[in-house]
Every structure is written in structure tokens, then in C-alpha cells.
Amino acid sequence: MIRLDKFLCDSGAGTRSQVKAILRAGRIQVDGQAEKDGSRKVDPAACQITLDGAVLGGRPRMVVMLNKPAGFVTATEDRQQKTVMELLPPAYQHLELKPVGRLDKATEGLLLLTNDGELLHRLISPRQEVPKVYYARHQGTAADADVDAFREGLTLADGTVCLPALLEPLGPGESRITVCEGKYHQVRRMMASRAMPVAYLERQAEGPLTLDGLSRGSVRPLTAQELEKLELAASLPVNLLEK
Ligand code: URA
């Protein structure tokens, strides 16, 4: 159940003040009865809500996962470059999805998109960012001193201070990196600061979510269980180093 005025805003009937005026003017009907009270709770799936006689559908809340290929910028529009929005099948095009955070043009892997502004805000809020796991191929080989420096929190050449992060060497020129923030070119800059410039970067996980076999360039909605886990992760404080 949601408030009628919220439903009307979400359905595109107007801004909050326009919706107030529309309600006051008696232009909204719930199951055929005029309704002027915006605070009334309605179940849009169970009743018919009309504006001037036209049925309002509401916009379903959507959270989708994209396996981003290299070559697409994370933006809703760009004059020159291909954006991740072009990878969405037509059925997703009108849902007003927005990327949650950003992957660089060259970075591949897990990118969430949602039309739930509140969830988006929580997921990218600096106080509540969920851990993100990256696989990197890079020059050099990560050593214990690099692992310690990541754990302590790196300071980059321009003075940017990074939160403590996990660096797990996987072999010569390969590492897994887990960070809880999304600064500009964060992982690439962190690795470069330890003389290990990154040649290839893939995000493999975000909080409880993994690509789980989703092929490169494909999109799928999160399952109910994934959504539940994501909501939980976005509401809990993170301590990476307790892992
Ligand atoms: N860190 C980076 O440097 N690039 C990304 O795309 C994501 C994290």
C-alpha cells in the first residue's frame, strides 16, 4: 500500500504540487469514486486509479544487473560516446533506469541500474557504500607491502585519502581488489600508486551480488532474493577488515 499522492507522482501525473492541485480539483478517481485525499493509502495492483478518466499505471520499481562490456560510458546520455543505456533491451528503455555509481569506459562487469532513487542514493552514499570486488590484470606483482598499504588506506599522489581496502594477489600480474567507495578511477589510481598500472579491470561483485553467469553485454532484473540481500547490505555499516 502506498499513499495516493506518492502513487500519482510516481505515475507521472505531475510534481508534488501539481498532484496536490489535481487532487483538490477532484480529477482523481479511485475505483470510480472521486478522491481528494492524497494521504489515503492505496494498493495500485488492486484498484483502478484514474486522472480525468484515464487509467494510471504507475511505474514498476526495477533494479537490473548489466554485465558491462568495455567501450560504453556509464551515463544516461552522451553526445559522442556509446552509453550503457544503449545496452538495455527495449522493454527496459522506458523505465527511467539510472546507473548505480560508475564503471569507466574500459572497465567491464557488474553494473546495477535502478529507477528507485532512494535505493540508488543509499547504495552510493559514502557512509554506506557496499563492498565492490574487482579483478585486475596489471603490471608487476602485488607483494605483502602492497597488501599492507591497501589495508592501512592509501594516500594517492594528489592527496586523496582512500578508505582501507583489500588487495589479494592472485599470481604474477593479477589481483583481486575490494573497495567500499567509488572515487574517480579509484582502483586504477590505487594500483598505479603502488607501481602496478592496470591493463584490464572487471567488477565481479557488488555487495551480495555477483554476475553469476550473466554474459557480457546482457541485462537481467534482480531476483526477489537478490533484492532483499541488496537492501540489507545497503542498510548495514561495512567493516571490510573484519572479513
Ligand atoms: N575503479 C576504477 O578505477 N575504475 C572503475 O571502473 C571502477 C573502479
Domains belonging to the chain, first-starting first, are 2-55 (3.10.290.10), 63-242 (3.30.2350.10)
What share of the chain has pLDDT > 70, as a percent?
96
pLDDT the model gives residue 231: 87
- Parallel, antiparallel, or unpaired: how do β-strands 63-68 and 108-114 relate? antiparallel
Region for residue 81 given its phi and psi (left: phi exceeds 0; alpha: psi -120 to 50; beta: otherwise)? beta
Could you read off the pLDDT of 178-227 as tens digits, one per residue?
999 889 999 999 999 999 999 999 999 999 999 999 999 999 999 989 98
User: Sorting pLDDT into bands at 50, 70 and 90, what band is 93?
Assistant: confident
**What is the rounded CA–CA span in Å between residue 206 and residue 188?**
17
Which one-letter DSSP state was computed for residue 241? G
Could you read off the pLDDT of 14-37 as tens digits, one per residue?
888 999 999 999 999 998 899 999
pLDDT the model gives residue 243: 39
pLDDT the model gives residue 11: 78
**What is the rounded CA–CA span in Å between residue 102 and residue 144?**
29
Distance 6 CA to ligand 1 centre (A): 36
| Catalytic residue list | 104
Please give the distance of CA 160 from its chain centroid, rounded to a whole number.
24
Could you read off the pLDDT of 150-164 as tens digits, one per residue?
999 999 989 999 999
Taking residues 83-101, what's their average pLDDT? 90
Q: Given the CA of residue 188, which atom of ligand 1 is nearest to it?
A: 3
Note the pTM of the prediction, 2 decimals.
0.77
Determine the residue of 84, 124, 180, 188 to mutate for testing ligand 1's pocket, defined as the one with the most ligand atoms within 8 A of the Cβ atom: 188
Q: Given the CA of residue 185, which atom of ligand 1 is nearest to it?
A: 3
Determine the residue of 67, 104, 194 to mutate for testing ligand 1's pocket, defined as the one with the most ligand atoms within 8 A of the Cβ atom: 104
Quick check: 204 and 210 in contact, CB under 8 A? yes
Please give the distance of CA 8 from its chain centroid, rounded to a whole number.
25
Residues 6+ away with beta carbon under 8 Å from 121: none
Could you read off the pLDDT of 54-84 as tens digits, one per residue?
888 766 778 999 999 999 999 999 999 999 9
**What is the rounded CA–CA span in Å between residue 231 and residue 26?**
37
3-state DSSP assignment of residue 189 = helix
Distance 73 CA to ligand 1 centre (A): 12
Taking residues 140-154, what's their average pLDDT? 98
The average confidence (pLDDT) of the chain is: 91
Quick check: 138 and 196 in contact, CB under 8 A? yes
Question: Taken in order 13, 16, 17, 23, is the CA torsion positive or negative?
Answer: positive
Pocket, ligand 1, Cβ cutoff 6 A:
103-104, 107, 185-188, 201
Distance 145 CA to ligand 1 centre (A): 22
DSSP β-bridge partners for residue 68: 109
pLDDT the model gives residue 170: 98
Exposure of 48 by Cβ count < 10 A (0-12 exposed, 13-18 middle, 19+ buried)?
exposed
pLDDT the model gives residue 187: 97
Q: Is residue 133 scored above 80 in pLDDT?
A: yes
- The C-alpha torsion from 70 through 72 and 75 to 79, rounded to 10°, is 150
